[in-house]
Structure 1
Amino acid sequence: MVKTDTSTGPVLRAMGEEAVLLELGSLEDVLLVHRALAASRPTGLVDLVPAARTVLAVTDARGPALAAVGTWLLATAERALAPGAGGSTVAVEEELARPDVVIHVRYDGPDLRETAELLGMEAADLIAWHTARAWTVAFSGFAPGFAYLVPEREDETIGRPLEIPRLSVPRTTVPAGSVALAGTFSGVYPRASPGGWRIIGTTDAVLWDDAADPPALLVPGGRVRFVQVVA
């Protein structure tokens, strides 16, 4: 059941008795494959967790057998990544029908102007770039409710994804609700914590609520739009 030859495509790794890890070549592959997996998820599967280069599938005694999960992961990944496949049509339709999560942002972050200067922009241009596109939740991590967001399209003006360097010295405390950039990602800190991302704004949105179902406001595969508000 476990495939380990990385030269021929997606790779399976056993993760104990109730999980299988699917390794992929890039974050772009993860987005495509996770979308297709979510659309064909077997009944009883406990969890499906994307990361930067992997997707973890978790089952248990009441769910599908581990061997069957591995077969499903590989077959679905190979279909989704086949030339011209473009992922699952059903998943794309469901994604487009799902309403975007709107996060209202005050673009008052301490790193806004410096970050814009690093990118050769004015602060207003960086704000416009951040609000002009939909963002996709690629995966979650770091802290409960923290989502790694990727833009759905490149900026037509610069013709490439923006690459934002992290702070050379991380902050010991980043306030909850800080809207930040790092690498090719955007994110919102759900709670006060250390961090090295560049803070460009703040929001009052609640990213994690133990009483909600699901508790995370932003879940993998979801779409997000940032809207500027004046403090």
Structure 2
Amino acid sequence: MSPQIRLLDAGDAALTVEFGDAIDPGLLAAVNALDAAVERLARAGGLPGLIEAVPTFRSLTLLYDPLLTCRADVEAALAPLLAGAGETQAASGRHWRLPVCYGGEAGPDLEATATAIGATADEVVALHAGTEYRVYMLGFMPGFPFMGDLPERLRLPRRAEPRLRVAPGSVAIATGLSAIYPWESPGGWHLLGRCPVRLFDPAAAEPSLLAAGDCVRFEPVSAAEYARLAAAVAAGELPPAHWRPEAAAGGGR
């Protein structure tokens, strides 16, 4: 096991495998690789008592039933997986192209963001939509994707005064990350636009549309096209895969 990897207790029924202390694509690959290996081992019966594995930017937490297993048994099962952690490659995630209506009512912070970085609104849109983002993790609320990495020029601190209400589908930036709000909620990120695609469906077999390791590109659309797509989504006429043109070889959850 790499000396950088730490095994930490997270209460009496969880174990966290920590790979580092930064937001970094290399750490994300290590987390996703271990997550995939743990899933394969659990399916083969090698991790009895495992309830769930939760990936983050830099760690993987394993939740287990203490009546069926213990930390020592979980750690022993992980040992061979961690022994080759440095050489393991994560499976490629799926590639998504999601529509976004930038600016106006959909993106109330677009103009202010442009002013803050000394650019035009069109330049901000080109920078944001011209970048491929990797989903680092889901958190904050169900289906909320933390995606990196923003171009250096777009990296701004969070708003000094968070909003009490951010509309669902809002596409936002803060620090080095971009995100999409699946639900209405408070929020302190800069809102550039809005995406009509539903990111979380509790009735679906896989409720979250995106998963850690997926890649996302944004496609600018007009306000009229956004309204058409939003109406189709509300009517159940637009399948979730409509904006996923392809999955990378070996991809999938």
Alpha-carbon shift at residue 16 of structure 1 (Å): 3.3
> Does 2:40 match 1:55?
no
Q: Pairwise mapping of residues 1-231 of structure 1 onto structure 2 (< 5 A)?
A: 8-23=3-18, 24-28=20-24, 29-41=26-38, 42-43=41-42, 44=47, 45-60=50-65, 66-71=71-76, 76=81, 79-81=84-86, 85=87, 88-89=88-89, 91=90, 94-95=91-92, 98-108=93-103, 109-151=107-149, 155=151, 160=152, 162-231=154-223
Are the aligned partners of 1:30 and 1:55 in contact in 2 as well (CA < 8 Å)? Answer: no
Q: Is the 8 A contact 1:105 1:228 kept in 2?
A: yes
C-alpha deviation, 1:100, in angstroms = 1.4
The 1:174/1:216 distance shift into structure 2, 3 A limit, reads same
TM-score, normalised with respect to structure 1: 0.79
TM-score normalised by L of structure 2: 0.72
**For residue 242 of structure 2, what is the aligned residue in structure 1?**
none
Aligned partner of residue 54 in structure 2, secondary structure: strand
Distance 2:76 2:222 in 1: 51
Q: 1:18 to 1:129 in 2, by over 3 A?
A: same
Deviation at 1:68, TM superposition (A): 4.2
Contact 2:168–2:182 (8 Å) recurs in 1: yes
Letter in 2 for 1:25: D
Q: How many angstroms apart in 2 are the aligned matches of 1:126 and 1:78?
A: 44
State the distance in 2 between where 1:56 and 1:50 align: 6
Following superposition, the deviation at residue 117 of structure 1 comes to 2.4
Q: RMSD over aligned Cα, in angstroms? A: 2.6
Supply the distance in 1 between the matched residues of 2:27 and 2:52 (Cα, whole angstroms). 16
Deviations 1:55-95 (A, max 9, x none): 211233698753243356566556444xxx4xx33x3xx31
Which shifted more, 163-172 or 61-70?
Answer: 61-70
Deviates more, 1:183-192 or 1:18-27: 18-27
8 Å Cα contact 1:177/1:190 also seen in 2: yes
Give distance in 2, aligned partners of 1:22 and 1:227.
36
Deviations 1:26-83 (A, max 9, x none): 22253022122133122154322122443211233698753243356566556444xx
Change (3 A) 1:39 1:131: same
Render the CA deviation track for 1:173-228: whole Å, top value 9, x for unaligned.
Answer: 11111110011111111111111000000111111111112111112222222111
Structure 1 vs Structure 2: percent identity of aligned residues? 33
| SS of corresponding position for 1:226 | strand
Over 3 Å counting, the alpha-carbon distance change for 1:213 and 1:162 in structure 2 is same
Cα distance change, pair 99–22 in 1 and its aligned pair in 2 (3 A): closer
Change (3 A) 1:120 1:47: farther
Aligned length: 209
SS at match of 2:201: coil
Q: Is the 8 A contact 1:46 1:58 kept in 2?
A: yes
* Secondary structure of 2:75 counterpart: helix
